[in-house]
Amino acid sequence: MSADGFRAVVFDLDGTLLDSYEGIRAALNPVLVHFGKEPVTVDQVRFMVGEGLPRLIEKAIGPEMVEEGVRLFRERYRETALSGSALFHDAEEVMTELGQRGIPMSIASNKPALFSRQILESLGIASRFVFVGGPDIGFAPKPDPGMALAALAAMRTTAQETLFVGDMPIDLQTARAVGMRCALIPTGSSLREELEAARPEYFVDSLASLLPLFAGGSAVESRA
């Protein structure tokens, strides 16, 4: 980070910028019923996601029929992704402010990039992001550093001047693999206690609390 703050940002998507759990639940439950499993609630889904679609299906139905489960989920999620996804209340404010400051933004998510782009386009914010990564376009899932490195290259920034923002320890692991500092927010798939125990450089309760960390804002203290 330069003396006047970070100059770029890589966001996780689900649980960080986006509340997408209802859309995932609506696509997952028909898969569960198909395989004779009990449907799940939104709260249960919240703690199942974050490691990629194959891992979600493995958790839901077991490892034997993951390929078929992924296929069925994808078919259904095309219908539920848009109606079941919404920005967190301060995400628009934060993205607008960062854009006005000239801060480039990227997405590194374990959600398939196809779905991420569809959702971002439906919300009218796809053009805000220089790069949208996902495991369906040739990247290994986080915490592999590939997506984050690609984001840095696309934004033409360095790890030292870029902040990684996520909602799970896997995001912190990804950031550390690249040499980036990380802010975690308890709005997604991990409990506050788990995130605090991971000891990120920054722990915030809201996206808006991140704004002073970036160039053009007032500097705040790191927890590291």
Rounded to 10 deg, the angle between the 21-34 and 66-80 helix axes is 140
From residue 153, alpha-carbon distances to 130, 156, 217 in Å are: 10, 5, 24
Q: Is residue 54 helix, strand or coil?
A: helix
Strand 18-19 and strand 86-87: the pairing is antiparallel
- Assign 3-state DSSP to the chain and report helix, strand, coil percentages, each to 5: 45, 15, 40
Cis peptide before 63 (omega within 30 of 0): no
The residues annotated with a catalytic role in the active site are 12
- Asked if residues 210 and 183 have their Cβ atoms less than 8 Å apart, the reply is yes
Contacts of 127 (CB under 8 A, 6+ apart): none
DSSP line for 183-210 = EE-TTSSS-HHHHHHH--SEE-SSGGGG
Which amino acid is it at 15?
Answer: G
- Residues 216, 200: Cα–Cα separation, whole Å: 23
